[in-house]
A = this chain, B = another copy of it.
Amino acid sequence: MEIKAAVTGHPILKLLATRWSPYGFKNRIVTNVDLRSLFEAARWAASSYNEQPWTYLVATKEHPDDFERLLSCLVEGNQAWAKNAPVLALGVVSLRFVKNQQDNRAAQHDLGLASANLVMEATSRDLSVHQMIGILPDKARELYQIPPHFEPLTALAIGYKADPAELSDALKTRDLALRQRKPLSEFVFTGKWGQPSPLLRNGESQRTDEHPKSHHS
């Protein structure tokens, strides 16, 4: 899978460069020992006022009813491939501070911090995570009795990534696609919006431009 390692313009941790979001998962369970460490990693993320506004609803394939219930909360396009992951989770945010019931503007952001920790821990254990925004929040709310002021936001498929050779053509194409990102000069600014930071000078490596830009950039 080294082919999918990021072609980075500047050196970064191997764990960050080799992480990617597979569509194909092996038919192999994830142990509870590993899963506990994944959620423990999420637990220690930073959060605004240490509110820890994240909750995860988890289902494993060893419990088919649980798994089907969680799978049914994804949009159809995601169900099609996520059904092969051995573990699914929903990421839910608390929209108000417990202490004073004020709105927590950082809630979604802080779920991102926690999930990134989870993904990092997973990567270190040869596990992969594919996060999705394509869920059915109302269905999740109903099926899991999620209280008001909590928002189901993401889903996470967790497992061992498949060998692309064993995948259907459609999934194989997706999993073999090159990873692409905008150059730093398009999102690291100094002084004024749109002005690339001088800290990037002599540092926007040639390698950044070896690959075609993403269609987003």
Contacts and interface: CB of A to CB of B under 8 A. Distances in A.
Contacts of A132: 48
Given A12-B121, A37-B10, A190-B66, A109 B106 contact: no
Contact of A50 (B98, B180, B189): B180
A43, A69, A111 — most chain B CB neighbours (10 Å): A43
B189 A57 contact: yes
Nearest to A182: B52
A142 B106 CA distance: 22
A80 interface: no
Interface residues of A, number: 88
Interface of A: 6, 8-13, 15-17, 19-21, 32-33, 35-37, 39-41, 43-46, 48-52, 54-60, 63, 66, 69, 98-99, 105-106, 108-113, 115-117, 119-121, 124, 131-133, 144-147, 153-154, 179-182, 184, 187-193, 197, 199-203, 214-217
Closest A-B pairs by Cβ, 3 of them: A112-B112, A116-B116, A10-B40
